[in-house]
Amino acid sequence: MTDLNERAAKADAGDPLAYLRAEFDLDPRVVYLDGNSLGAPPRRVAGRVEEVVREQWGRRLIRSWPERWWEAPERVGERIAPLVGAAPGQVVVADSTSVDIFKVLVAAVRLAPGRREIVVDAATFPTDGYIAESVAELTGTQVVPAAVDDLDEVLGERTAVALLNQVDYRTGRLYDMAAATAKVHAAGARVVWDLCHSAGVLPIELDALDVDLAVGCTYKFLNGGPGSPAFVYVPHRLQASFRTPLPGWGGHRDPFAMAPSYEPAPGVARARAGTPDILSLAALEAALEVWDGVDLAAVRAKGLAVTGFFMECVDELLGNAVEVVTPRDEWRGHQVSLRHHAARELIGELTAREVIGDFRPPDVLRFGFAALYNTYGDALRAARTLAEILSVG
């Protein structure tokens, strides 16, 4: 235990990102390891939202729409773009993850006329699968579930699009975006990446890897707040042919003209649908300012280091009492998943002791490490607390 204490203290003292923890409104009594489900609030968010409510809404009233609000989805999208390797003009923040998955899947099928199959990551987060089934029903296509490792067995001339997760939400495994994208393209199909568990975790190279479409949420590692809107990536090369199945006024070329027929906006704005959620966008915009000047390579290095240290703590303090199901090499996101038959009860006990992770059925405890605010000391305390709970039955 002494060695682990010393190692944690030394690592925290040498952490080049340690200064960022002060940017977050965290209870010092709590170890918060659920940033892979809901990120912690940056301190500046509360004041920004109050300003929007009191000044932009309270004083400027409806005048704020042309002054600042209407362009918020594109403006906030520009802040996300460098975090996912996208050049300007290719990311827009609009609607929820589920709605955006629907929009881009239908658009991808429309880009592949005559192809009748949608390949879906068999271990995908449930909403992706639900949406894919609905898209298949509406477009006359068929869903083909497949493990990402087995894409070669299912891709072919019938494949219209493959919907893949960069990081598995249960195990934390990271998939090779470059290799999988190349396989899908070799089959003549489009690829849609779900970045919900990788945005804000590691450098992503959407442009460089020639990704077709991508969707990601903003309330996890991007700290946008509960229910903050998702983002859509549509590269310049596909924008003119991107046809949304939800042609709402938000994506119209001239939304305030009240034209009787739909004409899509130029550029990525056509991926919008309804009226933007201004209060959530304001919170997200403030939260994203925390990333200014942050090196994603440093974020990735710390994330790998602190999750690796946590696994070492688990090994030493818990032995075979739990099973580590997250890859121990670099092919993992910034979460560690442990398997135990009483996982649900253990998460409840941990939460009661101010160590917050989460549970995924049937038997997985998940611990998400946000490099901007989690410490090596957090990792050690979480492992030690879990060991204490198990030692007393």
- Rounded Cα distance between 393 and 390, Å, is 5
Please say if 237 is a catalytic residue. Answer: no
> Which residue in 366, 369, 373, 384 is the catalytic one?
366
Cα-Cα-Cα-Cα torsion 312, 313, 319, 322, nearest 10 degrees, comes to -90
Q: Give yes or no for a contact between 118 and 136, defined as CB atoms under 8 angstroms apart.
A: yes
- Active-site residue, 233 included: no
Residue 219 a catalytic site member:
yes
Residue type, 3: D
Cβ partners under 8 Å of residue 18, min gap 6: 12, 375
**How far is Cα 50 from Cα 62, in angstroms, rounded to an integer?**
17
Residue of 125, 233, 242, 367 marked catalytic: 125
**Beta partners for 167?**
174
Active site residue 231: no
Q: What span, in angstroms and rounded, lies between the C-alpha atoms of 132 and 135?
A: 5
- Out of 175, 219, 221, 231, the active site residue is 219
Q: For residues 338 and 324, is the Cβ–Cβ distance under 8 A?
A: yes
Query: Which residue among the candidates 79, 190, 220, 384 is catalytic per the annotation?
Result: 220
Instruction: Write down the residue that tokens 């999988």 correspond to.
Output: 180
**Which neighbouring-strand residues pair with 215?**
194, 232
Residue 220 known to be catalytic = yes
Q: CB of 204 within 8 A of CB of 166? A: yes
Cis before 113? omega within 30: no
The C-alpha angle 23, 224, 362, rounded to 5 degrees, equals 110
Catalytic residue among 15, 128, 194, 378: 194
Active site residues: 125, 194, 219-220, 366
